């Protein structure tokens, strides 16, 4: 869908205000020099060593979740437990998502409004502002707790460097005031910019990770033959590892089938079903003239099921289409848009995939799962694609 700018409404800013409250005006939404400045701060948080250390944290939290599952199964006469994966994975990724989901519902409703209503003090807009205030307060609490844990008082620009290492929050707090001696090139972020980047991480990172996990569990529950295949792969590679319960980078690199399943999951149920881009100058796309300032909505979910691109089985679950890599899975080597493409490709793509691999590998090694009879298939778009009526699965311990 192409929105041509005939009224000037989109000339300055095409983003619905509630979306900026939700995602934060961070590295996903900003442009120009501000984007370069933010990206310079954020990008180091997703290097190899940081992803490795954060994977250990993911594994620890996953083990805590699995212990709760074992307790529920142990207390059941059927030796199984019905668990809603939406709640399980939201708890796994972030408590902040509760507020995010409420804002998602309001943002989805706002897309149906006339643009002029986005800026008026309607009941919905006032509610959004109250939620945004609560969200900012929670994020500030997280920031302050981190600073306190690091033994630094940076309020009012005072205090030393954050000692939290190279994770995202640590780097953001390090850039909160000028810190050229700490390797960020002297780039600085205001308090609002740090909060916005935290929002971006929670909304675009944690939420999409939880969503990808939910749909991966769903597809493996629906296709038990693939669940068995991937479990066999996980168990086999774990047996050759000396790291016990935690899958390290070498193990993850060998989980080819699991990786293929996750790519196919992101194709059939992309966490973000569409993205928008605005033409920076006059252009021609596929023979169509696109004037400068035109906003283009790219329907990811629709393109991912295009039979002309993906073949006659485009609507079917077939991880083997990725057997020979991303570029050979479809007629167009750039057909998979789950993480966008080009300079604006998702900065945290590698971390998100590794995080999901760690969680799935640990679950598959210890549990089998199937759809609950209560499940009703009603995917709903709330900025991310989620099951409207939940994702209840019957979970059992794997023998041995």
CA atoms within 13 A on the CB side of 346: 22
> DSSP E strands: which ranges in 223-365?
274-278, 283-285, 288-290, 295-299
Residue 357's pLDDT is 93
> 């961070």: which residue's tokens?
26
pTM (predicted TM-score): 0.73
Helix (H, G, I), strand (E, B) or coil at 14: coil
The pLDDT assigned to 4 comes to 31
Q: State the pLDDT at residue 47.
A: 64
The reported pLDDT for the residue numbered 11 is 33
Using the structure block, give the residue that is written with the tokens 């699995």: 66
Question: Rounded to an integer, what distance in angstroms lies between the CA atom of residue 46 and that of residue 168?
Answer: 8
Annotated binding residue at 239? Answer: no
**Residue-range definition of the domain harbouring residue 110:** 2-397
pLDDT (tens digit per residue) in 341-380 = 877 777 667 778 888 999 999 999 999 999 999 999 999 8
Tell how many helices (H) and how many strands (E) occur in the chain.
Answer: 15, 10
Q: What is the mean pLDDT for each group of 10 consecutive residues in the chain (400 residues)?
A: 31 53 65 75 66 71 90 90 88 54 61 64 78 77 71 46 52 59 56 76 71 95 98 87 65 93 96 84 90 89 95 97 92 89 74 87 95 95 83 88
Backbone torsion region of residue 298, taken as left when φ is above 0, otherwise alpha when ψ lies between -120 and 50, otherwise beta: beta
How remote is the C-alpha of 73 from its chain's centroid? 29
At 256 the pLDDT is 96
DSSP 259-295: HHHHHHHHHHS-SS-EEEEE-SS-EEETTEEE-TT-E
Q: CA 178, CA 194: separation in Å to the nearest integer?
A: 13
Beta bridge partners of 277: 296
Q: Tokens 């759809």 correspond to what residue? A: 371
Contacts of residues 250-254 at CB distance under 8 Å and 24 or more positions apart, as own/partner, are: 251/361, 252/354, 252/357, 252/358, 252/361
Residue whose tokens read 């089938």: 257
pLDDT the model gives residue 102: 58
pLDDT value, residue 6: 32
Q: What is the pLDDT of residues 281-305, one digit of tens each?
A: 899 988 999 999 888 888 999 999 9
Task: Please provide the distance, in angstroms rounded to a whole number, between the alpha carbons at the two ends of the chain.
Answer: 52
Domain CATH code at residue 76:
1.10.630.10
- Residue 135: the pLDDT is 73
Domain tally, the chain: 1
Q: What is the pLDDT of residues 51-92, one digit of tens each?
A: 666 677 678 888 889 999 999 999 888 899 999 998 888 766
pLDDT, residue 108, reads: 61
């Amino acid at each position: 869908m192409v929105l041509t700018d005939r009224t000037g409404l989109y000339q300055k800013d095409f983003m619905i205000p509630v979306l900026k409250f939700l995602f934060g005006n961070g590295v996903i939404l900003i442009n120009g020099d501000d984007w370069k400045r933010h990206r310079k701060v954020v990008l180091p948080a997703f290097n190899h060593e940081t992803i490795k250390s954060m994977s250990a944290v993911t594994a620890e939290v996953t083990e805590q979740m699995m212990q709760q599952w074992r307790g529920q199964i142990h207390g059941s006469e059927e030796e199984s437990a019905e668990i809603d994966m939406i709640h399980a994975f939201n708890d796994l990724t972030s408590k902040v998502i509760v507020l995010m989901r409420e804002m998602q519902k309001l943002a989805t409703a706002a897309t149906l409004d006339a643009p002029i209503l986005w800026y008026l003090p309607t009941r919905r807009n006032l509610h959004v502002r109250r939620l945004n205030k609560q969200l900012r307060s929670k994020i500030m609490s997280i920031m302050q707790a981190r600073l306190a844990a690091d033994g630094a008082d940076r309020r009012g620009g005072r205090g030393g460097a954050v000692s939290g290492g190279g994770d995202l929050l640590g780097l953001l707090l390090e850039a909160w005031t000028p810190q050229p001696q700490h390797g960020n090139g002297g780039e600085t972020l205001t308090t609002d910019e740090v909060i916005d980047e935290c929002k971006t991480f929670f909304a675009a990172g944690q939420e999409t990770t939880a969503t990808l996990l939910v749909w991966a569990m769903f597809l493996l529950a629906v296709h038990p033959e693939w669940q068995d295949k991937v479990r066999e792969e996980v168990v086999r590679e774990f047996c050759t590892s000396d790291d016990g319960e935690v899958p390290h980078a070498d193990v993850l690199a060998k989980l080819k089938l699991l990786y293929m399943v996750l790519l196919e999951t992101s194709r059939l149920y992309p966490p973000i079903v569409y993205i928008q881009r605005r033409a920076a100058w006059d252009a021609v796309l596929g023979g169509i003239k696109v004037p400068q300032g035109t906003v283009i909505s790219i329907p990811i979910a629709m393109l991912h099921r295009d039979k002309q691109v993906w073949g006659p089985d485009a609507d079917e679950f077939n991880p083997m289409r990725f057997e020979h890599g991303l570029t050979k899975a479809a007629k167009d080597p750039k057909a998979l848009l789950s993480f966008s493409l080009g300079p604006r490709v998702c900065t945290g793509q590698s971390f998100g995939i590794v995080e999901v691999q760690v969680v799935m590998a640990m679950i598959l090694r210890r549990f089998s799962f199937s759809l609950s009879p209560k499940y009703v298939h009603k995917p709903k778009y709330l900025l991310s694609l989620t099951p409207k009526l939940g994702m209840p699965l019957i979970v059992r311990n794997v023998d041995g």
